[in-house]
Structure 1
Amino acid sequence: MGVSAFAKPNVVILATGGTIAGEAKSELATTGYKAGSLGVDVLINAVPDLVNIANISGEQIANIDSSNMTDEIWLKLANRINTLLKDSKVDGIVITHGTDTMEETAYFLNLVVKSNKPVVLVGAMRPATAISADGPKNLYNAVALASSKEAKDKGVMIAMNDKVYSAREVTKTHTLNVETFKAPNSGEIAYIVDGKVFFNSNSIKLHTKKSPFDIKGLKALPKVDIVYTYSNDGSKVAVEAFLNSGSKGIVVAGSGAGSIHENQKNYLIELLKDKKIVVAKSSRVGSGLVPLSAEEVEQGFVSANNLNPQKARVLLMLALTKTTDPKEINKIFEQY
């Protein structure tokens, strides 16, 4: 089901490392491997059928375990994508990435890539050396997706385990299983069978060309950190430390519908009075909306909407490049 040789799209694979580029000492080992060991050429050559669906080129952006992802790599990656997609000869981008922080990178790119061409992140739950490696099939599917004309205007996507997810909605839900990525609030937007993509829905949130966030010339992102609420919460100490280290925003992984223990909340309210920081309420639950009371709106809290804490952090960082007004930031969280 490949594309005709006379009309094959041009897809660039940008490699950042991860399990898909990992090596273990045994073919049976699916843990204890070294992520980010293999280069992009090795990944491409491992899937010879890629040449049947696209003209492939590859670049190595980084080669890391994605748990070590940095803002610097994000900016480098996003700027390279924007440069490549300005070229009329480039039809789509595939990014190989570790699964630990894949959803954060995908959502960041969803907000800062300025093109309607397909951008697809892909990874693996098992290293390349495993007898049951899932990376080659995932990579094939990702290239098929990036080659699909129907994939335009969908925003940044993740292709894993024969399913396609919107970058905004997807999250990792299992430590080891290949069926780890899910979208708890919306479900997948497409599935892939033998390289053919079947779309069934789309994220309605604004993204890419309709996003106002511009990273061109940006050297760093505003510092935003996450604190967790729990019984007998003593995380005031953590907030103080983050504030002293230059944090401009805090995301609270609240309990239930975003509830914050009074020990922590009372301190945050004082900080909001002095306009020392922006505070977004998210939830540690994993899905669902976080509402604000009229009092919380007045106090200056921001609702993370239905974004999990790690994604709320991404949006708050970008929002802070535009404004520090909590009411304006609340509007941003509603739109993106």
Structure 2
Amino acid sequence: MMTMHPQTPDILPRVAFVATGGTIAGTMTEDSKTSWAYSSAQRSGESLVMGIPGLLRRAQWHFEQPYSIGSQNLELGHMLQLRAVLLRLLESPEIDSIIVTHGTDTMEDMLYFLHLTVPSHALGKPVLFTGSMLPSDHEQADGPGNISGAFEFLIQCLSTNADVSGHSAMPFGLCMQGLFTPAHRVEKQSTAGLDAFDGPYSVLANTQWLLSRNALEMSEDSGVQGQFASLFDPTATRHPLFEAMEVPVVFCTPGNGPLRQLTDLLNRKPASVVVAAPGHGNIPEACVPVLRRLLLNGVSVVRASRVIAGGVEQGGEFDALDAFRQAPVQGGNAVFSEAGGLNLSKCVMYERLRVLAHSLSV
């Protein structure tokens, strides 16, 4: 393992700064005076660092920009591109730590994907994502403070040489507003406000985060770090089967909309379908027959909830599809399961990877 360099006048930390666009690199538009408007992904990562007084001279910087987008436009190919960049930097003996700037719209999608697909043994260096809720030239821009905060956290981890023999001691997750959240626990809590990512698993971004590690550990339904790492080569930037995999979400509200959507899926036969049902995943009775047909036709079904918090475990009022919990069913490979504690976006990503793993193993 490489030696971590503390920050001294003679030896500066070697920090890779990976920019991908987002609001943090955005600028206000001409309409901003009358309507709060901006264009994301307008600045390079190097310009963001240079815009923070004194930061450029505090490290040996290595800049990369694999793409530059508003993160609402994130595609599965982008996820693979960024994964390949991070694996290369994690392997490089010329890099001590990594900061990634990313749009907040799909921050949790990216971090959860990396949680599931970056092998745990590779995480021997701090990897911190950060972003902003306001564009770079807003009078209250939070991006510079978040970049500086992530950098200070990295310096603390490197200068204290925090158990470098144990990869789990190195932070991998989101650093915003002075708080650190592990990658698999990141969720956007609000569409507005600088504290949009302050959640129940966020802790102060300092070396004391290690003391809170047990409380931050994943539950079984969050998936294991690197669980699906073997699905992709370290340098892969495309995977046609992964990118073509369809996992729709059917959101249940009163009316015939959910039933029609599920019926349409019988013709498409997606890889899996996530049903966002009311309450504790209580799927309407009218939807049960078509869900049974989907399962018999090889389409897995995940019972989730449209409620933000609480999750869905086995039990409660709904048991109509319990016979499909074990595959194979009539020679197929579809299974019925619950989302556990995963929100809808993470549930979709987990299912996409789970079904891909099964397809490649057959």
Query: Which amino acid letter does the alignment assign opposite residue 201 of structure 1?
Result: S
Partner of 1:214: 231
Q: Judge conservation of contact 2:135–2:143 (CA < 8 Å) in 1.
A: yes
Q: Judge conservation of contact 1:252–1:309 (CA < 8 Å) in 2.
A: no
Residue 201 of structure 2, aligned match among 183, 187, 201? 187
Residue 73 of structure 2, aligned match among 68, 74, 98? 68
Matches within 5 A, 1:255-270: 255-270=278-293
Partner of 2:331: none
Find the aligned partners of 2:192 and 2:134 in 1 and give their Cα distance.
8
Find the aligned partners of 1:30 and 1:130 in 2 and give their Cα distance.
13
Find the aligned partners of 2:55 and 2:308 in 1 and give their Cα distance.
36
**How far 1:278 sits from its partner (Å)?**
1.4
Partner of 1:330: none
CA deviations 1:16-50 (Å, max 9, x no partner) are 11110111037878931111111122112112433
Counterparts in 2 of 1:298 and 1:70: CA distance versus 1, 3 Å: same
More helix by share: 2
Partner of 2:212: 201
Matches within 5 A, 1:155-174: 156-174=172-190
CA deviations 1:296-328 (Å, max 9, x no partner) are 44223112110100011111111112226xxxx
Matches within 5 A, 1:291-306: 291-293=313-315, 296-299=321-324, 300-306=335-341
Partner of 2:307: 285
Q: Judge conservation of contact 2:179–2:198 (CA < 8 Å) in 1.
A: no
**How far 1:89 sits from its partner (Å)?**
2.1
CA deviations 1:228-255 (Å, max 9, x no partner) are 1122252233334456456211122222
5+ residue gaps, structure 1 = 325-336
SS in 2 for 1:61: coil
Query: Which amino acid letter does the alignment assign opposite residue 109 of structure 1?
Result: L
SS in 1 for 2:136: coil
Query: Which amino acid letter does the alignment assign opposite residue 292 of structure 1?
Result: Q
CA RMSD in angstroms, aligned pairs only:
2.8
Find the aligned partners of 1:64 and 1:191 in 2 and give their Cα distance.
29
Query: Which amino acid letter does the alignment assign opposite residue 198 of structure 1?
Result: Q
> Across the two proteins, how many residue pairs are aligned to each other?
318
Residue 178, structure 1, aligned to residue 188, structure 2: no
SS in 2 for 1:182: coil
Residue 118, structure 1, aligned to residue 140, structure 2: no
Find the aligned partners of 2:230 and 2:313 in 1 and give their Cα distance.
25
Query: Which amino acid letter does the alignment assign opposite residue 152 of structure 2?
Result: A
**How far 1:269 sits from its partner (Å)?**
2.0
Residue 96 of structure 2, aligned match among 76, 91, 114? 91
Find the aligned partners of 2:54 and 2:35 in 1 and give their Cα distance.
25
Q: Judge conservation of contact 2:129–2:175 (CA < 8 Å) in 1.
A: yes
Partner of 2:84: 79
The percentage of counterpart residues that share the same residue type is 27
